[in-house]
């Protein structure tokens, strides 16, 4: 019985440390939602927002660099999470090839702001740093 009580207390302490642990820095930056493109369109209509689409390929070095830096920037996350429906789509899998064809994606990364009707409002080609990305979308931020 004694051991069961000790195990229970140790387990409770470990579990509470996860609850009270400070937020992990990995949570900073853009919150990319797990939505299909059509679901993102519907959400954009409902919330009256633009979609920020990161069109990438898994083998793309600049895409990976942006995932580690630009997209993790706290200020970028604040602006994008407040103003856009953020999605990432691999242009070589699932619905990606059809989207790549529809939007003529020929280089990676290609980032787009797309309205609820599916029209591209802004296209950003190539890897960009946090300040440049914020500057590129400034006209679309409330």
| Sheet containing 110-114: order of strands | 84-90, 50-56, 110-114, 120-125
**16 burial via Cβ count (<10 Å: 0-12, 13-18, 19+):** exposed
DSSP assignment of 58-118 equals TT-HHHHHHHHTGGG-HHHHHHHHHHEEEEEEETTSTTHHHHHHHTT--SSSEEEEE-TTS
Q: Which of 55, 63, 91, 99 is catalytic?
A: 63
User: How many angstroms separate the Cα of 93 from the Cα of each of 8, 32, 58, 88, 113?
Assistant: 46, 17, 10, 12, 21
Active site residue 122: no
Active site residue 94: no
Q: Which of 60, 87, 111, 127 is catalytic?
A: 60
List the catalytic residues.
60, 63
């Amino acid at each position: 019985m004694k051991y069961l009580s000790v195990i229970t207390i140790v387990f409770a302490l470990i579990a509470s440390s996860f609850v009270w642990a400070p937020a992990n820095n990995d949570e900073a930056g853009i919150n990319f939602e797990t939505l299909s493109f059509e679901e993102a369109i519907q959400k954009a209509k409902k919330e009256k927002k633009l979609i920020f689409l990161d069109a990438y390929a898994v083998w793309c070095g600049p895409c990976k660099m942006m995932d580690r830096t630009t997209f993790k920037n706290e200020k970028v996350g604040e602006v994008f999470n407040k103003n856009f429906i953020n999605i990432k789509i691999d242009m070589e899998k699932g619905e990606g090839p059809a989207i790549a064809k529809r939007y003529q994606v020929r280089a990676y990364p290609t980032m787009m702001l797309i309205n609820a009707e599916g029209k591209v409002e802004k296209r950003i080609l190539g890897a960009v740093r946090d300040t440049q990305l914020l500057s590129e979308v400034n006209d679309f931020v409330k």
